Amino acid sequence: MPLADLTLDTNVLLHSCNPIEARYPHCVAFLQQLLASTTKLAIDEGFSVESAANKSLIGAEYLEKLVPGTLPSQVLIALANTGRVTTFKSSLQPQLAKKLNQLVANKRDRTFVKVCVNSVGKVLVSHDYEDFPVSKRGTISRSFGISIVDALSCQRLL
């Protein structure tokens, strides 16, 4: 059964535009497979593909960093236009929020985790091994009930 939804870190999208990135082919294949699947993109509330109307932190990062016309930009637009972007709260119970703040310093990275925790699929696709090293991925997975995987691993879930 395919994933209902997934949360997608911006770095995976950017890696699909960079042929010298080692994970480039995996990212391109992942985005193509995502587009062909029924899996939705989980994002924080307030998302709009129009910058002026967007209130989402994740959406703002996507809109700021993705170059119009590129594969990830087109995938994001296609998902939005076909109703395959689903929004979730970016808040947690106070004790979980405190634990997350201790584990992850970057506010935007915390937003990705919070959305993932509140999502149905509970999968975060990320290539950020600086903020989410393997050991921290395990701790976050156990503490918050989510999986943090790379694009190649996520292809098997779609």
Domain limits, the chain: 5-155
What are 52-70's pLDDT values in tens digits?
898 999 999 999 999 999 9
* Strand ranges across the sheet with 85-88: 85-88, 40-44, 5-8, 123-125, 147-149
* Spatial separation of the C-alpha atoms in residues 27 and 135, rounded to whole Å: 23
The architecture in CATH of the region 5-155 reads 3-Layer(aba) Sandwich (3.40)
What are 72-124's pLDDT values in tens digits?
999 999 999 999 999 999 999 999 999 999 999 888 899 999 999 999 999 99
Whether pTM > 0.75 for this model: the answer is yes
Q: Return the number of other C-beta atoms located less than 10 Å from residue 76's C-beta.
A: 23
Q: Which token pair is 115?
A: 């959305």
